[in-house]
Structures are given as structure tokens and as C-alpha cells.
A and B are shown apart, each in its own frame.
Chain A
């Protein structure tokens, strides 16, 4: 053999750090803007927190009544429903999906609870259980269509949005059930207790407990970590042994259960079960999630960001109304917020590619 290939020794010493430390080079190249981008990337809840604080200060200066206890109480009540739906929406968006049917499922569930308890005279526990079953079944239907038929979540939930809306009208015949027709437990979420001069509804407490529970699950359990992993890179998650379809299905079913809770909160908030309650609520829940810094591309975001997002939507709507502006300006402001939030998200992600 003419050209004998020489093999280097297999004994491997420690590789010189200077040779390996690519991260160091990367850090040195940082500019102030890229540092800000890096921080926002790591802590996506920072920007909504800043926006919320600024908005509260500005609206407080514009109109003194904004910070009055009665008004703060009103804001929390307005936020409770969107905030609850936002939790379900966050779970789905973290897996790189989207759920356009959250409002429809919530209204469907609330009408079933209303009809069962008021019109058909079912016991309270059975009426609420039926509401939960509706939420779980609706979530399971979405999940099965996404995982078995492999349809995009956008299309699946666009379809089920119409289906659940139609089923709601079928169940309710289009009529609203007033709160006084239903047992007290069904409207319990709308009852208040007083903390430091501010009236807090039990629905707000339910929402906060829900956030704490879901924050724990997302942050501290393997299931939560898998939600992020699947949203981040589905194929990578599959190759590491995560059952992607099972996880996605469980996310939609968990979302359904949360929406059933949202139905209970909604009945208490409006002291009625109304088939028309969910008109803008779908988009408001997506708005809350997006403003809260969760990426529509999945795998990135926190549940607390969504709470901040829901609060921002509530504060803007309420503050603009108190400032004497027409409803159209509230809608305009929310629209601008969404676009700015998504643009910021894109900008933050661009720095990482």
C-alpha cells in the first residue's frame, strides 16, 4: 500500500477552551439593541408588563375615576372571562396551533348548563357536569380532527366554530336564560366579596387559581415541558420519544375543560346564559395571548403573559371608555396592539435565527 493513512492518537485531552468558546465571540458582538432583544426573548412577559403599567398610569392621569375601587373591580370582572379563555388558547398556541372555537365552546357549554338547570330542572351538580362534558367532548373533537385527520388547527377550529355555534342555537332556540331562573350555584361566580375596598367576584378568584395551577403544570411537570417541545419542533419531539399526537389531543381536551370553567365564569359575570355572549371573545382571547408575548409559531411564551395580555385588553377598553372615547376607538386600539405585539414577536425571533 503506497499511501498509508496515519491515525491520530485516540487519547483525547481536554480541548482548549479558547478554541471552543464560540459563545464568547457571540457575546462580544452584541450591541445594545441586540441585548434588549435577547432579554425580551428570554423573558417574553417583560414587554406586556411594561405596557400594562404605562397604560394604568396614563389612564389614571387622564381620568381620576379610572383608579377608583369600583372601576378596578369592574376591570377584573371584565378580564375574568377573557383571561380564562386565554389559558385554553395559550395551551393550544404553545403547541403552534390556534383555536378559533374557544368562544363557541364556552357559549355552547354555558347554554347546556343554563338549559339543564333552568328549563329542564336538572340538579345543579348534573347541570355543571353536563357543561364540563360538553367542554371535554368539544375539545376532544378538535383534538381528534387535528391529530387523526392531520388537518391544520386553524381549519379544524374554523369549522367547529360554526358547528358549535349552530349546536348552541339548536340547544337554546336562540333565547337567553336570565340569572334568576337558574340555581344560585350556577351564577355563583358573579357573587362578590370585598378586599381593601375592591369588590372581587368568585369568578376572578377561579381565574387566578386556574392561572396558578396551569403555571405549575407548564413549568414544573414533564407534560408542560412536552407542550413547549412539541410547539418548538414537532419532529424533534417525536424523535426524542414524545407521543406527539397523544400530547396534542390532551392539550385540546384540557382546553375544553378550561372552557367549561369559562362558561361558569361567564354565566356569573353576565348573570345570564346567552347564546350571543361569545361574539368577539374568540379574537379577544387570541389577542390576550399574543399581546402577552406568546409566539403564534409555538414553543415560546408564558401563561402569566396571557394574564397580562388580558389585563391590557381590559384596561385599554375601560380606560378609553372613561376617557370619553367612542367604542370604535377601543376596537381600533386593540387592533393596533395586536399588530404591534406580533411585529415585536417577529423582531425578537429574528435575532435568534
Chain B
């Protein structure tokens, strides 16, 4: 078996969009992250896999500002960043789609896309009366959905609760894509979906990458990971066990590395 380490792949020569260096995060006596490094390069889908408790979620939380690492460094476009709140990461251009989706069911698609960042009308209506530019936001939402090829969501005035699980996920991903100028992080985006809807979300992830936005994907679903990921970061016991590619290793290898049966 040939093991191609990430260090020898040609991507390594480029500057990572997002880079973590030897992150450490402990909760009392429990070590969540034990010196984890991670690199996300422009235009790629990086999957993060690992068993429960391997530190996937903690790693993502540190990268998106939901947790502050005890040690280590996070670089965005080669410059050190210090996120104190999720809002900091978001303002820096890192958008996260949470497992819990974070959509408001009774609001329509466009309102959800712009929730928390509503745009106001120009002139006195916006500045004094604080009137939202509903029309403008709807037009932009439609354009954003078109760009992502989400053809089923043409009616941006429909309430999200009337949508299927896959369509809701599409709304959440579209929001991240619309505002995630640098990085989009997806936490288990297909876990709650059926086969067909899961497939739609995978299409969406590929399209996002093709539009030039690098994606970090956390998933338990090996076929999904191997379908969309360019590289796969494997967490094990709070450490990075390996970074592989779908070309260099197969699913069995990945599971073996996850469980410690195979070391690279």
C-alpha cells in the first residue's frame, strides 16, 4: 500500500486560506484538542472525519470563534486572527452552517438569507424610518440561489417551514455562501436528510467549491465524504491522525486510521 502524505502533495506550496497551528484546547482534565494543525487551501473541499470525541467539533468551534483555543495559532490568508465570538469569525468571512440549521421556520426564504444582516432602503426611509429593502433583498436572494443552481427555491417569499429538509439545508448553505467570502464550514449537513436530499446538498457543496469558495465539511457519512472531498483530515484522540485524499486511500483505510488500526 502506498501512503501519500499530505506533505508531498503539490497543494502544499500554496498559502492556505485558513490554517490552524498546533491548537490545544482542554476542558478541565479532558483534552479536546492536543496540538492539532489544519490547512484549508483555496478552491478545495476539506472533509474532517473522526470518531465521536476525536475533537472534530472542538476543532471547528475554535476555527469559527465559538471556542477560544488555549494554545496555538489560527491564520486567515496567512495573517494571525483571534476570534472571541462567532460574530468575529463571521465578520472575517468565515460562515458556518450548524447542524441545527439556524433557520427561522415562519420567515420566508429571503428573510432567512438576510436574517441578522437586513439591508435598509436608501434615503430617508432607510435612515430615519429604518425601513428594510425587502424587494432588493429578495432580488439578491434569488440571484444567490440561481448562482448556486438551487432551482427549486425560486419563490423566495415562501416560508421556510413549507420546505423539505433538503431545501431548508439549501437555504442555510445559500446563506453561508452568500456571506462567507473566505470559508464556508458545514457541520453534518447531510445527517438529517434522506438519500435524494443528501445528494442535492452534495451537489451544492461542489458548486460552492466551483464558485471558488473553499469548504470545510464535517461528516460521519463516508460515501458523502469520499464523493465531494478533495482532501480528508482525520481526527483521532484529539490529534490529527492523517490528511489523506480520496485518490490515495479508500474508505476502509480512512476508517482504519480513524480507529487507530492503521497509522500513517
A-contacting residues, B100-116, CB 8 Å: 100-107, 111, 115-116
Q: Is the CB of B106 within 8 A of A228?
A: yes
Q: Is the CB of B151 within 8 A of A10?
A: no
Least CB distance from A353 to B in Å reads 9
Q: Given A1-B2, A15-B151, are A232 and B207 neighbors across the interface (CB < 8 Å)?
A: no
Q: Which chain A positions have C-beta within 8 A of B115?
A: 225-226, 229, 237, 240, 242
Binary CB contact string for chain B from 99 to 137 against chain A (1 if under 8 A, 0 otherwise): 011111111000100011110100000000111101000
Tell me if B70 counts as interface (CB < 8 A to partner A).
no
Binary CB contact string for chain B from 141 to 172 against chain A (1 if under 8 A, 0 otherwise): 00000000101100000010111101100000
Tell me if A221 counts as interface (CB < 8 A to partner B).
yes
Partner of A299, one of B106, B132, B227, B248: B106
Q: Is the CB of A225 within 8 A of B111?
A: yes
Q: Is the CB of A22 within 8 A of B87?
A: no
Q: Which chain B positions have C-beta within 8 A of A216?
A: 129
Q: Is the CB of A232 within 8 A of B104?
A: yes
A1's nearest neighbour on chain B, judged by CB, is: B1
Q: Is the CB of B206 within 8 A of A12?
A: yes
A-contacting residues, B145-202, CB 8 Å: 149, 151-152, 159, 161-164, 166-167, 175, 196-197, 200
Please, how many angstroms separate the alpha-carbon atoms of A236 and B253 in the complex? 37
Q: Which chain A positions have C-beta within 8 A of B132?
A: 220-222, 225
Q: Given A14-B149, A15-B200, are A221 and B130 neighbors across the interface (CB < 8 Å)?
A: yes
Q: Is the CB of A221 within 8 A of B152?
A: no
Tell me if B249 counts as interface (CB < 8 A to partner A).
yes
Partner of B149, one of A4, A12, A241: A12
Q: Which chain A positions have C-beta within 8 A of B227?
A: 7-8
Partner of B226, one of A5, A233, A237, A352: A5
Please, how many angstroms separate the alpha-carbon atoms of A352 and B192 in the complex? 18
Q: Given A222-B130, A229-B115, A235-B100, are A22 and B151 neighbors across the interface (CB < 8 Å)?
A: no
Least CB distance from A44 to B in Å reads 10
Q: Is the CB of B164 within 8 A of A23?
A: yes
Tell me if B35 counts as interface (CB < 8 A to partner A).
no
Q: Which chain B positions have C-beta within 8 A of A300?
A: 106
Tell me if B71 counts as interface (CB < 8 A to partner A).
no
Please, how many angstroms separate the alpha-carbon atoms of A222 and B114 in the complex? 10
Q: Which chain A positions have C-beta within 8 A of B159?
A: 42
Tell me if A149 counts as interface (CB < 8 A to partner B).
no
A221's nearest neighbour on chain B, judged by CB, is: B130
Tell me if B246 counts as interface (CB < 8 A to partner A).
yes
A-contacting residues, B232-253, CB 8 Å: 246-253
A237's nearest neighbour on chain B, judged by CB, is: B104
Tell me if B16 counts as interface (CB < 8 A to partner A).
no
Q: Is the CB of B226 within 8 A of A7?
A: yes
Tell me if B138 counts as interface (CB < 8 A to partner A).
no
Chain A contact residues (Cβ within 8 angstroms of B): what range?
35 or more
Please, how many angstroms separate the alpha-carbon atoms of A12 and B209 in the complex? 11
Q: Is the CB of A17 within 8 A of B226?
A: no
Q: Is the CB of B152 within 8 A of A236?
A: no
Tell me if A3 counts as interface (CB < 8 A to partner B).
yes
Q: Which chain B positions have C-beta within 8 A of A235?
A: 100, 102
Please, how many angstroms separate the alpha-carbon atoms of A37 and B38 in the complex? 51
Please, how many angstroms separate the alpha-carbon atoms of A1 and B249 in the complex? 8
Please, how many angstroms separate the alpha-carbon atoms of A14 and B1 in the complex? 38
Q: Is the CB of A232 within 8 A of B105?
A: yes
Most chain A C-beta atoms within 10 Å of own C-beta, residue among B107, B115, B203, B246 = B115
Tell me if A19 counts as interface (CB < 8 A to partner B).
yes
Partner of A5, one of B100, B118, B251: B251
Q: Is the CB of B250 within 8 A of A3?
A: yes
Q: Which chain A positions have C-beta within 8 A of B162?
A: 23, 26, 352
Q: Is the CB of A19 within 8 A of B196?
A: yes
Tell me if A326 counts as interface (CB < 8 A to partner B).
no
Please, how many angstroms separate the alpha-carbon atoms of A216 and B163 in the complex? 27
Q: Which chain B positions have C-beta within 8 A of A26?
A: 162, 164
Tell me if A223 counts as interface (CB < 8 A to partner B).
yes
Please, how many angstroms separate the alpha-carbon atoms of A225 and B159 in the complex? 13
Please, how many angstroms separate the alpha-carbon atoms of A76 and B250 in the complex? 75
B165's nearest neighbour on chain A, judged by CB, is: A22
A229's nearest neighbour on chain B, judged by CB, is: B104
Q: Given A232-B104, A236-B102, A239-B100, are A22 and B2 neighbors across the interface (CB < 8 Å)?
A: no
Least CB distance from A342 to B in Å reads 18
Q: Is the CB of A240 within 8 A of B116?
A: yes
Please, how many angstroms separate the alpha-carbon atoms of A239 and B200 in the complex? 24
Q: Which chain B positions have C-beta within 8 A of A12?
A: 149, 203, 206-207, 210
A-B pairs with lowest CB-CB distance, top 6: A222-B118, A239-B102, A241-B116, A22-B164, A240-B116, A236-B102
- Residue numbers of A with Cβ under 8 A of B are 1-5, 7-8, 10-12, 14-15, 17, 19-23, 26, 42, 216, 220-223, 225-226, 228-229, 232-233, 235-237, 239-242, 299-300, 352
Of the A-B pairs whose beta carbons lie under 8 Å apart in the complex, a sample of 28, sorted by A's number, is A1-B1, A1-B249, A1-B250, A2-B250, A4-B247, A5-B247, A5-B251, A8-B227, A11-B210, A12-B206, A15-B200, A19-B196, A20-B152, A22-B164, A22-B167, A23-B167, A26-B164, A220-B131, A220-B134, A229-B115, A232-B107, A233-B103, A239-B102, A240-B116, A240-B175, A241-B116, A242-B116, A300-B106
- Residue numbers of B with Cβ under 8 A of A are 1-2, 86-87, 90, 98, 100-107, 111, 115-118, 120, 129-132, 134, 149, 151-152, 159, 161-164, 166-167, 175, 196-197, 200, 203, 206-207, 209-210, 226-227, 246-253
